[in-house]
Amino acid sequence: MTIRPIPAALTALALLAGGLALRSAGADTARTLPEASDPTPLSAIAGRDSVIFAGGCFWGVEAVFERVKGVLEATSGYAGGHTANPTYYEVGSGATGHAEAVKVVYDPSVVSYDQLLRIFFSVVHDPTQRNRQGPDVGTEYRSAVYTASAAQLTATRDYIAQLTAAKAFSRPIVTEVDGWKTFWVAEDYHQGYYDLHPNQPYILINDKPKVAALQQEFPGLYVKK
C-alpha cells in the first residue's frame, strides 16, 4: 500500500530511483495496441454513457481521460468493494475491498467505448500487474472495468480476448471485468489532483508520462486542458 501525498522530505531524485525500480519490476507495457476487431461505430446522436475504470492511482487515470475528446466528466472515487462511503485511508488499508477508480462519462457520438478501452489498456496502466501499479501496491490498485451495459461488458471481454490471442503483452491480462458497481466519489482534494499539483514528484514520475503517451499515441483524441 502507498499512502499519498508523498512526504516533502523525499527528494525527487530518491523518488525517481524508487519509483522506476518498482515500476520496472515485472512491468509489462504495450506502446501501441490494435483497434477492436469489431469496433462499435460512433452514435448518430449525442448522448451520455458511463463506465468505471480502475488502473492504479486515480490521479493519473483521471488526468488521462480528462484529456480525451468526447469525455464529459472524469471523477475520482472508489468502486468494487463492500463498504459504504469509504474514505481514502480506509480504502488504502485494503479492508473495504474497493479499488481506486474513475467514473468516465462520455458522449458516444464523439468517442466510442472501444476507443476508451484501447486508451485504458494502452496508456493508462499495465493490465498484467495484479494488485499494483508502478510504486503502488495493494488490492486498491487493481486493474478493473465496471461496465454500465451488457454491450460494454461483451466489448470489454472480447477486446481482452483479442489482445490475449494477439499476444499483445508478454504476460496474462489480469483485469477484473464486471457489471456496474456502486461508485463512491473520492474526497474533494483528489479531484483534479494532476492539474493542481503538476510539479509534485509522484505526478512528474508516474502520471505525466501517461498524459504524454496519450498525446503521442492518440493525437486525434487528445484534448489539451
Residues acting as catalytic residues: 57
Angle, CA 217 vertex, CA 216 and CA 218 arms, to 5°: 100
Pair 52, 145: CB distance under 8 Å = yes
Give the chain as a DSSP string.
Answer: ---SSPPTTS-HHHHHHHHHHHHHTT----S--PPPSSPPPPPSS---EEEEEEES-HHHHHHHHHTBTTEEEEEEEEESSS-SS--HHHHHTT-S--EEEEEEEE-TTTS-HHHHHHHIIIII--TT-TTEETTEESGGG-EEEEESSHHHHHHHHHHHHHHHHTT-SSS----EEEE----EEPPGGGTTHHHH-TT-HHIIIIIHHHHHHHHHH-TTTB---
